[in-house]
Structure 1
Amino acid sequence: MSEFQTSHTLKDRIQIALNDDFLRNAVKFTTERLRKNKQAATEELGNWEEWRARGQEIRSHTIANLDYYLSLFVKNARAAGCYVHFAATAQEAVDITLKIMEAKQAKSVVKSKSMVSEEVHINHFLQKNGIEVVETDLGEYIIQLAGETPSHIIIPAIHKNKEQVAELLSREAGKPLPADTAVLAGFARSKLREKFLQADIGITGCNFGIAETGSIVLFSNEGNARMVSTLPKTHITMMGMERIIPSLEDLEVMAQLLPRAATGQKLTVYMSVISGPKRLDDLDGPEELHIIILDNGRSNQLGDPEFQEVLHCIRCGACLNACPVYRHIGGHAYGGVYSGPIGAVLTPLLQEDKKTWGELANASSLCGACYEACPVKIPLHDMLVYIRRRNVEEGLPPKSEKWGMNAFKKIASHHKRFRLAMKAARWSQKFLAGTDGITARIGPLKGWNMYRIAPKIANRSFRDSWDHLNQELQQEKADISSVQSRLKEMLAKRGEKDES
């Protein structure tokens, strides 16, 4: 278990991340590469803003009519031979899964990458019931061996290097393996192939559910999702209730937006559209396909003018790559399943413990980079402000913050008090400031200056500068007026001489 998982406060987790130079460099390197890839892929596509607008339109229309499209999806999925289950809570999703396991007398499960399964902590409950669970996405497999959770929605092992991966896989292999990518991938491939062939049940997530056909769509770059969804006799898909899109035509738009925004790919390597279980003339596929549709707090956002748009998310991770906070602290510092800006919004909305999770909204600079990066234009920066306001209304911030804001309000609401405070600050910084700025780690500046330098207050305020400039201007006008008067006198005298 990592330090992050044993640290209960956001500040503690952030401190751990900021003190981990390797983590910070790894996250920075990968997110910058993903951002550059995205930029190149979107420029090549052309008209990216039009594609974003179309994606926003599809998601907005679907969520606004979610009851209709969800009903249509369920109807068509059942007609295709699927078993469809509804889970109001995470525990209900777990219970449904365990019942299926019991009915099939399952002893082993293979999984492909699924954020919803992480959300309900299905691995923990399956292992608790004596069922072997193996993640088959390479990144997920690595962090499973490390006993950790994903640190990125798309690239779960972003925080590991080759040496660390070699150590984990060597332990699994029972012999030393070199820190060579080809060797490590080869071992993982051979090991997981055995698990694919032995598994009783396969569990996948769902990128999209298509209402008009009742199909589920899986995006994958490694092909493991196809193995998980075809080799075991029983396939379980876990999907959030919001992952519906109306038609295959809409899938074309999402197939352009998601991979380009996520990793900068033109298309994902494998896109599987699964419509029901194996039929009589099919060569492969599961005998049973179960779809578990999870609510777990999502329906509470429907009809909410401030938060409904969070359900538009297609889980591409672009907001994480653009976020300056995520790039410094990584994903584990957020403490929940979802990290980055989407996690800072979604986690407090889905969790009942608002006091613990509401503080995630403070892990943001509110720069709006997440909105610019989002392929479906979710205004996450606005939602972070709404959550902060809600936290204040519910009295969640510490009293010291309330006292500080009230003091600032009193000072800033009267110009004389504000000027006096600025003069006091200007005087006190003489004892705190270096050549570049304020570096002292005391009082309210302690947290800020731990990793940055606060700018110095100007020696002269804008108002003082304005008054000084105004005085200079008035003096210049007076000087010009005086010169003009003297010229008039000189001209007048010259005219009198000419007449005489």
Structure 2
Amino acid sequence: MNHAEKAEVFNKDEAKVNWHDKALWYVREKRDTSAHKVQGWEYLRELGSGIKANVLSNLDEYLVQFESNAQKNGVIVHWASNAEEHNKIVGSILDKHQAKKVVKSKSMLTEECHLNPFLEKKGIEVIDTDLGERIVQLAEEPPSHIVLPAIHKTKEEVDVLFQEHLGTKPSQGNPEYLVSEARKHLRDKFLKADVAITGVNFAVADTGGFVVCTNEGNADMGVHLSKVHIACMGIEKIIPQEKHLGVFLRLLARSATGQPITTYSSHFNKPEEGKEMHIVIVDNGRTEQLSREDFRASLHCIRCGACMNTCPIYRRSGGHSYDYAIPGPIGSILSPGKDMKKHSSLPFASTLCGSCSNVCPVKINIHEQLYKWRQVIVKEQKQPIIKKSILKVAGVVLSKPNLYAIAGKSARFALKHAPKFMIYNKLNAWGKARDLPEIKNENFDEWFKKRNKDG
């Protein structure tokens, strides 16, 4: 199914859709409040965008510098050109240590590479330790949001899920009780884990270190209790110097959840004595995206999710309707580059209102890139006959002023005098929840000519 068809499934439960919409808009409002408290917020955004642009223009040098410094720190560095190589590298490290139990903190790259199913086929237990990630893992679902992976589930649904999988008591969705039970469940997993896997929010070229941001401390817990730490990062996560963290840490938390700073910003530079630290640096289509001049700025993304929280389409269609690891507006730019045929509907899942670009902390021109993808897809992908026919007729009408004027008069007459059942039917999706505006007797041209004649 394409995005529209999957969104239609999500929209069958209107009460839940309304709740989902409100929950995400609440996060957007928190972002606005937090951002407006920072003097020079727009300058910070400009600075973040400039640093990212510099990184992409010198990516090869920064990656080599990062590798060299990381190796000096005693870190083992691996390179993966695609998801398959990434998974094989992680699997080989686990095999070397005969690891059977893994704890993993939230990592969108490992979701993108489908690491969990790969390891589970090898008989390895993989436990996602971020609470939202653990909820969707128990539900056997992918995350629906990159920061709030279980935002599509109500606390009552989580209550039922925990009763089924963790043996908890019914609590009518009591958050304190559910979090307490999740903590007990995960604590045991942390203590028994052989290896910890984390993502990487920022990798610092001039130190060889990297930063992982969490609100639950689960990355720290996993890493410090395990003998082996595997960090998985996309090549675009590099920043040149440690001082640049001050820019991105201020932008990230405020844009993601409205916090002044993430609760845990954990810095990893070298392995503890007697332990191993691995970094797997992954391309998986990023170099190809970098080569696309119109879309390379999408690699500025710091995965804050702000574009999702503000997008009217995402809020009312749900993350699963995008069928890609990164949903929402930014995912709609990244996914066609990976598989244009499969994801050709996603750039059209937008009003092009520009709200996503306005809130992006690193000033990605998201709505403009979505529009450009539409142009590419229409040229390269076969379009439905109905759509082509409608656009062809529209093109003819819009190119002939007299024909356009006749069509306008006919439409105004029909909307004003036709029976209501002919206007408000299944073909008029707009009319399902709202009335059409009052129809005037004349169009703008007629009104303007009359105004000039009278005055």
What TM-score bracket applies, with the shorter chain setting the length? over 0.9
Is the 1:438–1:454 contact (alpha carbons within 8 Å) kept by the matching residues of 2?
no
Report whether the alignment pairs 1:195 with 2:189.
yes
CA contact (8 A) 1:202 1:228 kept: yes
Of the three residues 372, 376, 387, the one matched with 1:390 is 376
Question: What is the aligned counterpart of 1:205 among 185, 199, 208?
Answer: 199
User: Is residue 232–residue 282 contact of structure 2 (8 Å, CA) maintained in 1?
Assistant: yes
Counterpart of 1:150 in structure 2: which amino acid?
A: P
Q: CA deviation at 1:156?
A: 0.7
* Residue 82 of structure 2: aligned partner: 89
Q: Residue 150 of structure 2 is aligned with which of 157, 163, 166? A: 157
One-letter amino acid matched to 1:75: S
Partner of 1:471: 453
What corresponds to 1:238 in structure 2? 232
Structure 1, residues 6-43: CA drift from partner, whole Å, max 9, x if none?
A: xx322221101222234323322222221221122112
| Alignment partners' CA distance in 1, 2:232 and 2:161 | 28
Partner in structure 1 of residue 59 of structure 2: 66
Q: Structure 2 CA distance, aligned partners of 1:119 and 1:448?
A: 35
Amino acid at match of 1:93: H
Amino acid at match of 2:53: S
The alpha carbon displacement at 1:456 in A equals 5.7
Shift of 1:431: 5.5
Alignment of 1:246-285 (within 5 A): 246-279=240-273
Are the equivalent residues in 2 in contact too, given 1:439–1:454 (CA < 8 A)?
A: no
Q: Does 1:439 align with 2:424?
A: yes
2-structure distance, mates of 1:90, 1:206: 16
1:143 alignment partner, one of 129, 136, 142 = 136
Aligned AA (2:176): A
Name the structure 2 match of 1:335: 323
For 2:444, which of 453, 456, 462 is the aligned residue? Answer: 462
Relative contact order (alpha carbons < 8 A, sep ≥ 6): 1 or 2 greater? 2
Contact 1:177 1:184 in 2 (8 A): no
Alpha-carbon distance in 1 for matches of 2:419, 2:44? 49
The alignment partner of 1:254 has SS state of: helix
Work out which of the two has the higher radius of gyration on C-alpha atoms and give 1 or 2.
1
CA distance in 2, matches of 1:177, 1:466: 66
Change (3 A) 1:43 1:470: closer
1:254-303: CA deviations, max 9, x gaps? 111100111111111111110121136xxxxxx11111111111101224
Matched, 1:408 2:394: yes
Q: Does 1:319 align with 2:307?
A: yes
Structure 1 residue corresponding to 2:407, chosen from 421, 424, 445 = 421
Distance in 2 of aligned mates of 1:333 and 1:147 = 16
Structure 2 distance, partners of 1:383, 1:191, is 43
Give the residue type in structure 1 aligned to 2:453: Q
Sequence identity percentage: 41
TM-superposed CA distance for 1:432, in Å, is: 4.9
Query: 1:125 offset after TM fit, Å?
Result: 1.0
How far off is 1:433 after superposition?
Answer: 6.7
Cα contact 2:206–2:241 (8 A) shared by 1: yes
**Superimposed CA distance per residue, residues 49-82 of structure 1 (whole angstroms, 9 cap, x where no aligned partner):** 1111111111111111111111111111111111
Residue 452 of structure 1 and its aligned partner are, at CA, apart by 4.9
Q: SS where residue 169 of structure 2 aligns?
A: coil
CA distance 1:441–1:98, shift in 2 (3 Å): same
Residue 379 (structure 1) aligned with residue 365 (structure 2): yes
Q: TM-score, normalised by structure 2?
A: 0.95
Q: Distance in 1 between matches of 2:70 and 2:132?
A: 31
Q: Is 1:369 equivalent to 2:355 in the alignment?
A: yes
Structure 1 spans left out of the alignment, 5+ residues: 1-7, 281-286, 474-500
Whole-Å Cα distance in 1 between the matches of residues 442 and 239 of structure 2? 58
CA distance in 2, matches of 1:53, 1:138: 33
Q: 2:287: which partner in 1?
A: 299
Amino acid at match of 1:217: V
- Asked if the contact 2:133–2:150 (Cα under 8 Å) also holds between the matched residues in 1, the reply is yes
**Structure 1 residue matching 2:123: 3-state secondary structure:** coil
Tell me which of 161, 169, 178 is aligned to 1:168.
161
Q: Quick one: distance in 1 between partners of 2:168 and 2:398?
A: 66
Asked whether the 8 Å contact 1:355–1:396 carries over to 2, the reply is no
- Would you identify which runs of 4 or more consecutive aligned residues in structure 1 move more than 6 Å? none
Counterpart contact for 1:112–1:136, Cα < 8 Å: yes
Task: Give aligned pairs, total.
Answer: 454
Among candidates 99, 112, 132, match of residue 119 of structure 1 = 112
- Separation in structure 2 between the aligned mates of residue 447 and residue 288 of structure 1, nearest angstrom: 57
Q: CA shift at 1:405, angstroms?
A: 1.7
SS of residue matched to 2:99: coil
Alignment pair present for 1:181 and 2:175: yes
Give the superposition deviation at 1:453. Answer: 4.6
Question: Relative to structure 2, which stretch is displaced further, 108-117 or 298-307?
Answer: 298-307
Distance 1:367 1:222 in 2: 34
Matched, 1:219 2:205: no
Distance of 2:4 and 2:308 partners within structure 1: 19
1:397/1:431 CA distance change after superposition, 3 Å: farther
Q: Which of 99, 102, 105 pairs up with 1:109?
A: 102
Return 5+ residue gaps in structure 2 as ranges.
none
Q: CA deviation at 1:397?
A: 2.3
Partner of 1:31: 24
| Number of the residue aligned with 1:482 | none
C-alpha displacement of 1:412: 1.1
State the superposition RMSD in angstroms.
1.8
